[in-house]
Chains A and B, each alone.
Chain A
Amino acid sequence: MFDDRVLILKFKYGSSDALRRIYEKYKKDLLRLATILLNDVSDAEDIVQDVFVSFAQSAETLKLSGNLKSYLLSCVANRARNKNRANQHRQAVALDEAEPVVSDTKRPDQWLICSEELKRWSEALARLPYEQREVVILHLRASMKFRLIAQSQGVSINTVKGRYRYGLEKLRSILDGEVKR
């Protein structure tokens, strides 16, 4: 945490080394989140690139009230949401056409571990409405607090908690085979 504050201060004063270190430190976390949100590694890489390029240009205006990791993860979530909206046609596909996160058709060279378990999870996640998927992922995988997610999504904290509850319940039902395809 202290390191991050120092890195940010140095970055704000134009240190390319600080920017490089921030990138190296958080690129994997950001890529993981983007991938799991978007079900597409190529899109995820684009998002990560956009987030970091935008961050690199923000030295003058950047004001962090929380920690750096949460800030970057929020940026990824926001861009992934926009990307998702832009790709509405993908969301409109029938449930049985939904592609899992860990899909053999998606740049398999990117995936170091492709367990059956992981595939099952990604299939289940892909069947959640995007709003619910985003809350579940941000809360459980990115450890973001509901308050921050609510701020990021521009909705009330109760709405976020509701989405989380419904999302988790639906995920449980899917994984237990209670929701038929």
Chain B
Amino acid sequence: MNPTVYGLLKRYLARSVWLYAFLGLLQFMMAGVYWWRGYDRVPAAGVLLGIWGAVAALNTHSLVWRSLPLTPRDAGVFRWWAMAGAPGIFLTLLTLVAWASQRSSGFPAPDAAAILDGLIATWAVLGVLAMLSRSLRRPAPRLRQAKIAAAIVGSTLLLLYGLPVGSAARPYSMIFECAGLMLLFVSAVRARRGVDWRWPDLAGRGAGSAPLRSTLWGTQRYGISVILIPLAQRTAIFAVVATVIIVSLQRVFPRASIALFWVYFIGLSTTAFLLTFQVRMAFQPLRCLPLSVKQLAGFLMLFGALPGLATLGLTLLINRAVLSAGLDIGQVATFAFIIIAIQVFPVSQMTMPHRSKFLEYWMPRIQRVLVPVYMGLMAAGWNEAYGRFTWMRWPLQAGGVVLCITGYFVLVYQLRAGIRPSSNENAFSPG
């Protein structure tokens, strides 16, 4: 690793520290639970770290990156470290620390051979990922969304269910580990030789003819339906595909209903959250429509929440019909309120001029707290703590209603304050 790659990797790790910390903690806790319960599995947080590395390490279509004097070899080596090297070392150290702390505090911990098996499996997964992520060809937007959704669902499943290792999984686990390590080695050698990396051709951007787009109904749309119909189409397609996958998996793993339920919910709600970009990207045209600020705020919240609400409804149905993971109407309502309320979150808060000092200080903090609260509620539901404390439902639901109403007025205030559309559209730009 030369100084250029080291510098790039250092900056990449600095900006990814939140993800490493979050997934590291998750891996640490889940490894403890698996060892305590005696499961022959290893949690695979490395998959998510590897995917993040593949996606976020290098922004291949950024002119800033492209104008830098970065050799293909350096770019390839840096990307390999971001995808496989750094997550592998991090998870190895983390597993060893978890193992040492479990043993020293008298909690059950597996023997050294099992730990080694788990570590090899982790590196093997990263090897497979490093080999699969070599291709830089950017897929079409629809395929990209589908790939992202599939990757999120797959990696969440791996993270929650874990990789089967130990004597019960042999010889398949050994075959997988050998193949994975070989792929890891091959990917490292190829990255070092600089044969995998090739910057995409950007000279033609915008010059080619626009692709012919077909729509489900193939008719010219006007007004709000321009945004609403594609949003509904995509929501329906993702939901149907995810439902088919999860029902099939439930047939294969009948005892994993609860894990499958949460994989389904997290995967779909994340995809739904991404789909709200359909609304956010159309922010400028929406602001030009003959709508009052209050009407526009209402549409933005409802349209943004639509994929999430549809997902929630489907999750409830699929839970009742197949998984029986214990989701009830009260929980669904709480989630629905939160989904609607967090629609205020993506509107840029950094550049918004506040007239009130109080709002200026507290608004960004409140907006940042909303998503962790959302995740926290899901985690609470998973741990069954929420189920036991039934009285918690009412304040949570009341809080959700308050969040929705407050969110609406915040959005109205933001729209009136005049947000820079240019900064809003790319509020979550990658890199």
A and B found bound together: no
